[in-house]
Amino acid sequence: MTRIFEVIGQLIILSGETLYFLLARKPEFKAWVVQFYNLGVKSLSITNITILFTGMVLALQASFALSNFGAELYIGDLVSLSIVRELGPVLTALLVGGRVGAGITAELGSMKITQQLDAMRAMATSPIYKLVVPRVVACIICLPILTIISSALGILGGLLLSSMELNIGGYFYLARVMNALDVEDIAAGLSKTFFFGYFIGIIACNNGMRVEGGADGVGHATTDTVVSASILVLISDFFLTKIFHLIAG
């Protein structure tokens, strides 16, 4: 329990320092662009493929259940709402947390054990400004974009399955999707991703900058990042869903 409160304190302090440097210093857009590419563009393939086939599987499973009630025509409603509100944001965050979070922790951890962070401090350069801010900002900005793209592909996956296996016309499927979704659904799904991106980025950076020991320490910190980020994404998803439901009335 003491360890949990210690980590929470570390995350709060690092968050405050990150916010300070973000607001008080001129942004290094070149470093930001590099991180956008490394964390965002390079994650497109894994998120898109995963959510595409998730949409197809969801449509297939929904057809089995809905066929008992003669309601196969509502597959578009079920797939679109499930992906936009929950599966798209959460699965994308889990995938990015595994790939990006582990990468950030390993990179910063390697810099820590090779004393590169100490060298930056000795030259009056803040590692938080140079290393943490670009990565956290990239996670916060890239995750919503990845979610939009992957969610669209997930709905497309449902369309492909419905057209090929269930003989549901593409136009009708899309009409049901448009009828089922509204602005509140899209806003609720996307709003979560900003929190998810922040959690992934700040946990990964904190673990990386606090690595102890050698290569074993980096490995343990990387594993801890993936596990912690995944758990926090799932827990926060529940509470954020409750909050958005209360706000929407």
Return the closest-CA partner of residue 221 out of 233, 234, 204. 204
Query: Would you tell me how many other CB atoms lie within 10 Å of the CB of residue 238?
Result: 9
The DSSP secondary-structure symbol of 168 reads -
pTM: 0.92
Q: Give the residue extent of every domain in the chain.
A: 30-241
Over its length of 249 residues, how does the chain's per-residue pLDDT go in tens digits?
Answer: 677 888 889 899 999 999 999 888 888 888 899 999 999 999 999 999 999 999 999 999 988 888 777 777 888 899 999 999 999 999 999 999 999 999 999 999 999 998 888 898 888 888 999 999 999 999 999 999 999 999 999 999 999 998 888 888 888 989 999 998 988 889 999 999 999 999 999 999 999 998 888 778 898 999 999 999 999 999 999 999 999 888 876
Place of tokens 């596990």: 227
pLDDT score, position 196: 96
pLDDT score, position 249: 64
pLDDT score, position 242: 92
Rounded Cα gap, residues 155 and 28, in angstroms: 37
pLDDT score, position 91: 96
pLDDT score, position 64: 84
Residue type, 16: G
Helix, strand, coil percentages (3-state) for the chain, rounded to 5, are 90, 0, 10
Q: Collapsing DSSP states into helix, strand and coil, what is residue 192?
A: helix
